[in-house]
Amino acid sequence: MSYEKLQVLEDTGFVLLRDFEPGVAPAEWESMEYMDWKSGGDTNFAPIASAYGEMECHGFWDHGKPDKDGIWTSNAAKCPTLVKWVEDIGVRYGRVRTIKLEPNTYEEALRNLHLDDNNRLNPDGEGWVVRSWLQLTDDPDSFMVVREDKDDPSTESHIPLPAMSQFVVDTERLWHAVCHRGTKPRYALITSFESGPALDKWISEQLP
Ligand SMILES: [Fe+2]
């Protein structure tokens, strides 16, 4: 299979962007309905766009479609800024959800390292699906661990997680998990985006 990929991700598999300036009111992520769904630690997720708009967290492939063309759920009405953030980017999106992650340790984060399965059912020749993050809570002592090789610490990088930081990760290429050192849950918006000229343009506009 051959997919369109972004040059900006070629070297490291991730790119840090500048902070989202307007900010987001905590009520948007705190008022949503969360589901018990474990991925990368002690987590709950609030689906904002799912495969067919239902309140569920399953991969789109479980419904026979690639992780593209997400449909807004009932949570979307509670987070207008997050919905606008996704739509303003102007890129074909799949799953959109907030993650709620309980505090953990670096050792636990290493045990949670995993690859995502973003491109199952992605048709040959289309854009490679990557994931973007908009960090919601201010967790400057926490970080996402990414590794090119799961078992090689020399391939490790840390992505800091202050409030409103934005970054894009090829999570089917890089092993990843968050070390969250706070005392309260960490929240972030995670969106699957299709690689292509539109995503490339947005990233170039958002570079620090
Ligand atoms: Fe993941």
What is the domain partition of the chain in residue ranges?
Answer: 7-54+62-183+195-206
Below-70 pLDDT ranges, the chain: none
Residue among 142, 20, 12, 40 nearest 84 (CA): 20
Half-sphere exposure of 57 (CA within 13 A, CB side): 16
Span from the CA of 71 to the centroid of ligand 1 (angstroms): 20
3-state secondary structure (DSSP) of residue 79: coil
Span from the CA of 17 to the centroid of ligand 1 (angstroms): 19
What is 7-54+62-183+195-206's CATH topology? Jelly Rolls (2.60.120)
Residue 40 is predicted with a pLDDT of 85
Residue 165 is predicted with a pLDDT of 98
3-state secondary structure (DSSP) of residue 172: coil
Could you say which DSSP state residue 161 is in? Answer: E
Tokens of 8: 């900006």
Residue 1 is predicted with a pLDDT of 82
Span from the CA of 197 to the centroid of ligand 1 (angstroms): 24
The region that residue 40 occupies, defined by phi over 0 for left and psi between -120 and 50 for alpha, beta otherwise, is left
Span from the CA of 114 to the centroid of ligand 1 (angstroms): 6
Query: Residue 131 and residue 94: Cα distance in Å, rounded?
Result: 10
